Structure 1
Amino acid sequence: MREHLPVILAGLVVGIASVVLVALGNPVNMGFCIACFLRDIAGGVGLHQAPIVQYIRPEIIGLVLGALIMALAGKEFKVRGGSSPMTRFVLGFCVMVGALMFLGCPLRMVIRLGGGDGNAILGLIGFIIGIFVGTLFLKKGFSLKKSQPQPKIEGLLMPAVGVGLLTLVIAAPAFIFFSTEGPGSMRAPIAAALVVGLVVGAIAQRSRLCMAGGIRDAMMLRDFHLLMGFVAIFVAVLVGNLIVGAMGLKGGFTPGFAGQAVAHTDGLWNLL
């Protein structure tokens, strides 16, 4: 059990952080969501014009910088890439479209479950089915091939972009967009969001927390190590929501399908 402790602790911290971010202003059941926050950032810099989801989310910036700092501290900063770039792009595109059809990444799926959102059950079922299909490809020999070492500048560009985005959200120049209504207008203070992102990025880098990898390992290897992290997130979010609900704070546990925050009840599309 001791070897599982780091990923369990990581999950508990991420779950607690999500509940805290909601209490500080983030949308309900969306304390931390990779896909949703990337969408908001795209809107914040004007790459889309949906006015209710435009805000440069400091959580994502902190996530990148926290992982970088932890990798440098642990002497694990090794820049690799170059394998199957077009395949990776297409797969990434499909993942993002699927996540935004469901209105949440795998992390938010677990957070929504912890908030009582029944629609996330269908999302989880679809996610498991998709990973099962993926394991069939892996068993048949599918591979993205071996990545190659890259110049360090390649690994530093994304953190540099993050620092630039952080500067923009703090300075708030006229060409940056800030939602005045909808999910994009619901946000924790910049400093709090950045600190939480840094912590989550650091512990995720150290623990290798990964939802898809956890289900894949459970299916293919009967290894439940990574999956324990996401069970811990669910437990932390569930308990945290029950506590904040009892205290009358923003958030809380609201079971059901209809009327859930930033969600829809179309079961087929949630599953797909």
Structure 2
Amino acid sequence: MRGWLTRLFASRAGLILTGGTIGLLAVLLEKLGNPPGTGLCISCFERDIAGALGLHQTEGGQYIRPEIIGLVLGSSLSALLFGEFKARGGSSPLIRFFLGAFAMIGALTFMGCPIGVILRLAGGNLNALLALSGLVTGVAIGVGFIRSGFDLGGKQTLPPINAWLMPLFMLALLFIFLADLRVNDAAAPFRSWVEPSSLSAPLDVALFAGLLTG
């Protein structure tokens, strides 16, 4: 069974099925209350979680998104089922950190999240064409660097506890969210009641969509 599923998801049909499922879930989430043009936008939801934890004070960007919690837990469960649950790390951590930071800046500032771009295009927002062209250009530049020999160093296996940190953190976030653990309006976790973070799909649907995507 495991081998059959591995072959399925590695095939062209599996890729189409996966992409189509994620697209349908994104549209469903938007229809049920998520902000327009986001649906299942990873960068937007990570921004909201960062705001909920007090890492920024942007009005309209503070909410613990269940989709991200489900995504991490679902992918962790999938990795466990397929025997791929292991912690791996690489060299050049500072370079990796800044590359990740600039990726988020590009996604949030210039509509660079692939899911967000496609959803906006599907909704008729032609501004997304500029974002898509920038995204394609960035990928092409990255491929050029890789082909020219750019390498951040090999991966290495890390102690198992490293693999459990993120799922455990997400479980803690889920507990905080469900228990509504708020001390006062001046302490995290924060919840913004201004759009877009005030808009959200029902908890059960959002969590299920994240789990299925993961």
Tell me the TM-score normalized by structure 1.
Answer: 0.71
Q: How does 1:25-174 map to 2 (within 5 A)?
A: 25-103=33-111, 105-174=113-182
Is residue 90–residue 153 contact of structure 2 (8 Å, CA) maintained in 1? Answer: no
Is residue 18–residue 31 contact of structure 1 (8 Å, CA) maintained in 2? Answer: yes
The alpha carbon displacement at 1:178 in A equals 1.2
User: Partners of 2:138 and 2:111 in 1: how far apart?
Assistant: 17
Q: Structure 2 vs 1, CA of residues 193 and 22 (structure 1 numbering), >3 Å: closer, same or farther?
A: same
**SS of aligned partner of 1:183:** coil
Is residue 34–residue 199 contact of structure 2 (8 Å, CA) maintained in 1? Answer: yes
Corresponding pairs, count: 200
Instruction: Give percent identity, aligned residues only.
Output: 47
Q: Report the residue type matching 1:132 in the other structure.
A: A
Q: Report the residue type matching 1:184 in the other structure.
A: S
Q: Report the residue type matching 1:199 in the other structure.
A: L
Is residue 21–residue 31 contact of structure 1 (8 Å, CA) maintained in 2? Answer: yes
Is residue 55–residue 177 contact of structure 1 (8 Å, CA) maintained in 2? Answer: yes
**SS of aligned partner of 1:148:** strand
User: Partners of 1:104 and 1:167 in 2: how far apart?
Assistant: 31
Structure 1 runs (4+) deviating above 2 angstroms are none
**SS of aligned partner of 1:7:** helix
Q: Report the residue type matching 1:6 in the other structure.
A: G
User: Partners of 2:153 and 2:72 in 1: how far apart?
Assistant: 25
The alpha carbon displacement at 1:103 in A equals 3.7
| Residue 193 (structure 2) aligns with | 180
The alpha carbon displacement at 1:51 in A equals 2.2
The alpha carbon displacement at 1:102 in A equals 1.7
Is residue 33–residue 104 contact of structure 1 (8 Å, CA) maintained in 2? Answer: no
Kindly report the root-mean-square deviation, in angstroms, between the aligned alpha carbons of the 2 structures: 1.2
**Gaps in structure 1 of 5+ consecutive residues:** 202-272
The alpha carbon displacement at 1:104 in A equals 5.0
| Residue 242 (structure 1) aligns with | none
Tell me the TM-score normalized by structure 2.
Answer: 0.90
Q: 2:212 aligns with which of 176, 199, 204?
A: 199
**SS of aligned partner of 2:197:** helix
